[in-house]
Structure 1
């Protein structure tokens, strides 16, 4: 099936739910049935990536929704899928396969530090702990470890291998508990999937989250699975199983794959519920393959957070702006106490009429509610420009 850029933009906007927002905690957890992998990132300029991803799809989203679903109701859990991700609890048996492999990887570490591991597992019997409770362990002399703190590395190894689970967080600090205190018993009793089935299940989760994927040009998207050849074979198998569709897009070389649940949208004509403005998280599933996003939405997105200030073209933490399904610009927000600051606004397209301004104000108002901001400050030197490169 071959489609135009315009058609692809409409379909992706529709199937991601940007034009018709869900509402409440119930719709938040149901969203994970459709978009089962949301990337976690700790940076908080004006909302963390995982929260912004949900905010763009849930009308009244609050961070408490996600916290409750993760740590109170245990309907979600954290593990590596597309990097560190939030995942539906029902998928836990799939990732136990990966945890078993991590146990083999960390076996020498666990043997070397058996006394410390035994101590950690013993005190976990009394309740959740973080690295703060293990300060006496000191540092390690292992040069390859990313941190010298022995407690952090041991806790991370135990977590990756499934011997402990994330119980809750305070800020970005993780607290760990025994799996039986976090993972429902019925989930722990389920069979662990085999290697090949695990890869297929994870690949389908990635497709479901992005809604349109390429096996190439996005290595981080597939870091849990393998190289381009392996990914292509798995996607073809899923297509043969009737779970995926093949899609061709103008000016994109190579096959693309969409989830079969979206077939009616790719085959038929569907109009968007307009008008609306949405701000996308920098690591939104729609942006996992930035080359594909740039091809379809006809303008690049570059996350400049790791660039030096003098090398940035747009700003430190810019969010893509969708207007009625079109990528029209970037906004750079920053929350300072209870004030939402807008440091930059870049428009790539000539947005005609008053509707864009009206919808932008509506979305900024909704954004303030989400952030708990009482006021908004728009920089007097706001960089508002038309970009001729679109």
Structure 2
């Protein structure tokens, strides 16, 4: 006897109901009777867990986007709170999926398959760069700390993600 997949019946909702649901699920609106708004470091951790991740964007136009996401949802949020959760308390971790993401540390194992794939994909590139890495290390050992400007690069760049 084979197992049968049972599908739930289709549920129809209005656009307005879907909009209200997504706004509340994303912690962008509070309603009477809701729990108090998340606050401080614990609130930031709660929000990242609820959203499942926050995408990292290091560009600072107004503020870094991951800080804006949390500031919109956490009372008294300050940019240093995320750094505390990442680097001091280690309750969040930064991972590279297709983009850079900050995820709860308990979700880190979910990315292990992606990490293994990336390592496999980059193995030949790392082998190709091994002689360059050795030369750089030898120069640093001989001369001490160096800037990237201290190294000459004769490679031609395409202007993309070289």
Task: Using structure 2 for the length normalisation, give the TM-score.
Answer: 0.71
| Residues 34-71 of structure 1 deviation map (CA, whole Å, 9 limit, x = unaligned) | 11221122232221211111111101110010011112
Q: Distance in 2 between matches of 1:30 and 1:2?
A: 30
Q: Is 1:74 the counterpart of 2:93 in the alignment?
A: no
Which residue matches 1:52?
Answer: 68
Q: How has the CA–CA distance of structure 1 residues 65 and 120 changed in structure 2, closer, same or farther, with 3 Å as cutoff?
A: farther
Q: Is 1:5 the counterpart of 2:15 in the alignment?
A: yes
Q: Is 1:16 the counterpart of 2:30 in the alignment?
A: no
- After superposition, where does 1:89-108 map in structure 2 within 5 Å? 89-108=105-124
Q: Is 1:139 the counterpart of 2:149 in the alignment?
A: no
Q: Distance in 1 between matches of 2:29 and 2:122?
A: 45
- After superposition, where does 1:159-308 map in structure 2 within 5 Å? none
Q: CA RMSD in A?
A: 2.9
Which residue matches 1:29?
Answer: 45
What SS does structure 1 have at the residue aligned with 2:103? strand
What SS does structure 2 have at the residue aligned with 1:60? coil
Q: Distance in 2 between matches of 1:100 and 1:142?
A: 30
Q: Distance in 2 between matches of 1:76 and 1:120?
A: 33
Structure 2 spans left out of the alignment, 5+ residues: 1-10, 31-36, 139-144
Q: Distance in 2 between matches of 1:79 and 1:66?
A: 14
Task: Give how far 1:80 is off.
Answer: 2.6
| Residues 158-184 of structure 1 deviation map (CA, whole Å, 9 limit, x = unaligned) | xxxxxxxxxxxxxxxxxxxxxxxxxxx
Q: Distance in 1 between matches of 2:124 and 2:104?
A: 31
Q: How has the CA–CA distance of structure 1 residues 50 and 120 changed in structure 2, closer, same or farther, with 3 Å as cutoff?
A: farther
Task: Using structure 1 for the length normalisation, give the TM-score.
Answer: 0.32
Greater shift after overlay, 62-71 or 7-16?
Answer: 7-16
Structure with more of its chain in helix, by fraction: 2
Maintained 8 Å contact 1:22/1:58: yes
| Residues 144-199 of structure 1 deviation map (CA, whole Å, 9 limit, x = unaligned) | 68466xxxxxxxxxxxxxxxxxxxxxxxxxxxxxxxxxxxxxxxxxxxxxxxxxxx
Task: Give how far 1:101 is off.
Answer: 1.2
Maintained 8 Å contact 2:38/2:46: no
